Structure 1
Amino acid sequence: MAAIMLWKTFVEPFVCPYCGAKSDKKEDHLQELHADLECADCHEHFFAINSFEEHRQELCIHRSIPCGLPDCMNSIKWYEMKAHYLTDQHQHILLIIILKYMSPRSQRSQIQNHCEFMKQEYHDLRNSIDVTFSVYEILLNNMAHLQVEKQEIKTNFERNFSKIDELKKCNNENEEAVKKLSETQNNMQIQVEDIKRMREESRILTLDDDSTTTLPFNYSNTPSFSIQSLKFKTSQYGYTLGFRACSTIELQQKYLSLFLTLYNGDYSNLLPYPFLYTIYIALWDQSNQQKHIVYVLKPNPNSTAFIRPTTEKNDEFGIMKFCPLEYLTDSKSIYVKDQVFFIRVFVDFLNTGQNPFQSKDNIEDNVELMSETTTMMTD
C-alpha cells in the first residue's frame, strides 16, 4: 500500500510533444501554451496563438476584410473580393466618387495641387540626379585608380612570384649546403674528439727529478669500473709504463686492484731487461693527514710482465686487493676529491730501500711484498 502511494506521489511528468517541455499538469500546459484554437471561418485547428492570429489576419481565404473604397463600409470575404468589385453597389459608389472628382472646381484644384506636387518631385529628382552624377563621377575616378592599382599589384605579384620561385630554389640549395656543412661539422667534431682521445692516449708523463710521478684517475663512484692511466716514462729514453685501476670482488668483498703494464718503447732495445727496479705505489691521501696506502712492488725476474717487450706491451702484473673499495666509495673518503683519486709512483733506481711516501702512521704495516700468490693478468 505504501508503495502504491509512493508511486502516485512520484508520477512521471508530462513531456510536451510540441515544445519538449516537462509539466506536471498536461491540461494546463496545453491550454496556456498550446491552446486548441479553431478558425471560425475555415475551421482549421491551431495549438499556437501566434500561428492562429497570423492565419486569421493574413492567410485564411475566408477572412473578412474591408473593401477599401471610401463610403463602402462592407466587410467582404477575401475570396469574394473580386466578385464584390463587380457588384452594382460597389460600381455605384465608385461612379459617385469619380463624378465628385470630375467637377470643374474640384478638378482645377486637384490639377494645381498635382502640378505643385510634380514640381516639387521634379526638383527633388533633379537634386537627386545631380548628387547621383557627382557620386558616379567620383566612383568612376576611384574605379580608374583601382584599375591602375590592380594592374600594379598584378605586375608586382607576378614579379614577386617569380622571385619566390628563385628564393625557393636558393632555399633548397642553402638547405643542401647547410646539410652538407652540418655533416662536415659532425665529421669534424668526431675527428676532433678522435684527435683529443688520441692525443690524451699518446700523452706520456715523465718521472720528475725525484723519480716520482702522479697519475690522476677520474672516478664516478660506480660499483664496477676499470680506468686506464696515462703512460709515463722513467726518463726521456727510459722505460714506458702504465697502470690500470679497477674494482674486483673476492669472497663477496670488494677491493681496489691495480695492474702494471710495461710497454714497448722507442728505446726498449737499448735498455736492460728484465725490469728489476723496486716500485713504490701509493693511494694518495688528499686530506693532508698523510694516511697514504703504500704498496712496494719488487719485480720478479722470471715474470713475463717484466721481460723485454716483443709486442706492443707485456702482460699486466696484478696487485690484487690493493685496498678495500670502501676507501673510495665512502662519502667521507680522504682519497677521493672532486671525483678524482691519485696514484703516486716512485721508482727506486738507486736501490735505497727507503719509502719516499712516509706517513704519520706506521707505514710498514701498509707495505706488502710481492709473493708467489700475486696474480698475473693478461689483456
Structure 2
Amino acid sequence: MDNMHVLYCIMSIPVFYYRLTLRVMASALAGPSSMDVDHAQYQSISSTSFMTDDFNERPKFINAARLKKLYGCAICNDVVVQPHQTPCGNRVCKKCIEEKFGSLSVIKCPLPHDDMDEEELKEEQCQQEGLVRDAVVPDPGSQRFLLREKCFCENQEYGCCENPPWKKLKEHQAICVFVPDRCPNQGCYKLFAKKDLQRHTAECEFGIVKCNFCQQSFKRKDMEEHLGECDYADSECTLCGTKFEKRKQLIVHQKTNPECLRTAGKCYFFEYCHFESDNLNELKAHLKSKTSKHLEAIAVRVHELENVSTKSKDMYTNDVKKAVNSKVKPLEKVTAEIAMKVKKLTDKVAQSETSGEHLVNAMRTVSHSSQQIETVQSKVSVIERQIKDSGLDRVTVIDSHSQNIRRHTDSIGELDKRVKNVELGSHDGVLVWKINDYKRRKSDAVRGRQMSIYSHPFYTSRHGYKMCCRAYLNGDGLGRAKCLSLFFVLMRGEYDELLHFPFKQRVTFSLLCPSNPSLSKHETFLPDPDSSSFRRPQTEMNIASGCPQFALHADVESSNFLINDCIYVRVRVEPGVVQREKLQ
C-alpha cells in the first residue's frame, strides 16, 4: 500500500476514530486470521458492555439539559440511549439509526453536517457512497459515562427522593417503597405509594365496615347515613332529651309521648285561659305554671257533662224507640235488596274475567250499588246522630245493619278491584303505568308515609306469568334520595303449575318521553335463576328485584318526563318459548 495514500486516509478520519483505524490496519498487516479474531473480540466487548435490554429505556436524568448538549442524539435531539458513532462523527441512539435503516444496508446519510464546508462534504464517504449499516459502530465510552449519571426515580411523584446512577436505577426501583399500587376497595381507583397504601385502606371511604349496632356491612362513606336510620343505634329524642338504646324505641316514643307530640299554638284549655303562642317552649312553660287552673277547668267541665248525661237518661221514652224502629225497618229492606244485587254482580264479574262481554254493565252496576250504599249510610248516620242528640245508647239493631252494610261495601270494593284488574291488565307482557300525582306521592315517600307504590298486575299471556311493577319515587338502597327506583315483582298466578320456574325472561324498564320517544330511558336485566325473587311464588308476591338507580330525580322531574304531574313507566317482558313448550 502506498504510504502517502495511507497518510491521507488517516488525516481524513476523525480523531475519535483514529485508534480504531490503527487497530484495523494492524490487523490487515497481521493477516486475515488475526483480523477476524480481533473483530470478534471487539464485537464481544461491545455486546456485553451495554448492548442489553437493561439500558434500552431513557431515564429522567438530573442534568438532562447538559447531557443533551454533550451526548445528544443527532436524530431525536435527546440524550442518547445505547449510543453509536457514525463515520461522519455523529452520535446516535441505536433505536433511532435502526429505524432510519429499516431493512436496508445502505442509505443516504440523514445526519446533519453543519460544521463542514462544501469541500469537506464532498470528501465524506457517507455523502458520496451513502451511509453503510456496518460502518455505524457502538460507542462504549459514551455509554460508560452516561451510566454514571444520576437519575430521578420513576416514583418521584409518589414521594421518592433517591437519585441513583443509571446503572443502579433498576436495582433501586425493585426495592423502592414508593412503588405505586392501586387501592383494592371497589369504587376507589386512586394510586398510592406502597408504604402509604395500608394507611389509606384503613381510611378509604369505599372500605367495607360493620355497623356496631346491627352488624350489617356498609361502605365507610355510607355509614353516617346508615347510623341515622339504623333501628338498633343509640338515639336521643331531640324534643325531650330522652335517650333510647334502639331507634325503634325512639320512633314509638315520638309518636306516643304527649310532650313530644305537642306543637306550638293554642293551649289545650284555650276556652278557659285564652293563651296561645307560636313558641313551643313558652306554651310548655304556661302549661306547667297554670296546672292548678287547668285542673279547676277540668273539674267544671266534668260536672257539666254529668248534668248533661243525667238529663239525657231522663229523655229515654217509648216514643223515641218507636221512631227508631220505624226507620230501621226500611233499612232492613234496603239491605236485603243490596245483598241480592251483590250476588248478581259477583256472577257478572266472574263471566267478565273469562269473556269480558259484561264488563261495562258490571261497572255500571257497581257504581249504582255504591251510590245506594252511600244513601243508606247517610240515612244511618242521620239516625245515629238523632240517637246521640237524644242521649240514647246505640241501638243493637242499627249496629247489626251497619255491620251488614260494611260487609257488603267490602264485597263490592273487592269486586270493583277485580273488575279494574280485568279492565287494565294486559296479556302481552307489556305494562304501561301512568303514575299520577307524582309530586304528592314523592313527598309522602320522602316523609316516610308511603315508601313505595305498586302497579296493577299484567301477564305474559292469557295463562302466563302474573307480574307487577314496584316503584320507589324517593329511591331505595343505593338510589335513596337520589334516584327513581323500579323493581320487578313476580306474583302468584292461577296457572303457575303449568309454567317453568325459575322465571328466566328478559325484563326491560323504560321511562317514557311522550314528546320525543328517542329521549326515553331504558334499563334491561336478566333474572338470576338462583334468586328467590324468580322462583315459584309461595305467597301473594315474591321479593322485588330490579334497578335501585334507574334514573336521577333531576332527569325524572325535567319537562321531558314529568308532564301534568304524571310520569309514564313501561315494563316489557320479552316472550319466551319455555312457557309455551310446557303448555304443549
TM-score range, shorter chain: 0.3 to 0.5
The structure carrying a bigger helix percent of its residues is 2
Answer 1 or 2: which has greater strand percent: 1
Q: Normalising by structure 1, what TM-score?
A: 0.41
TM-score by length of 2: 0.28
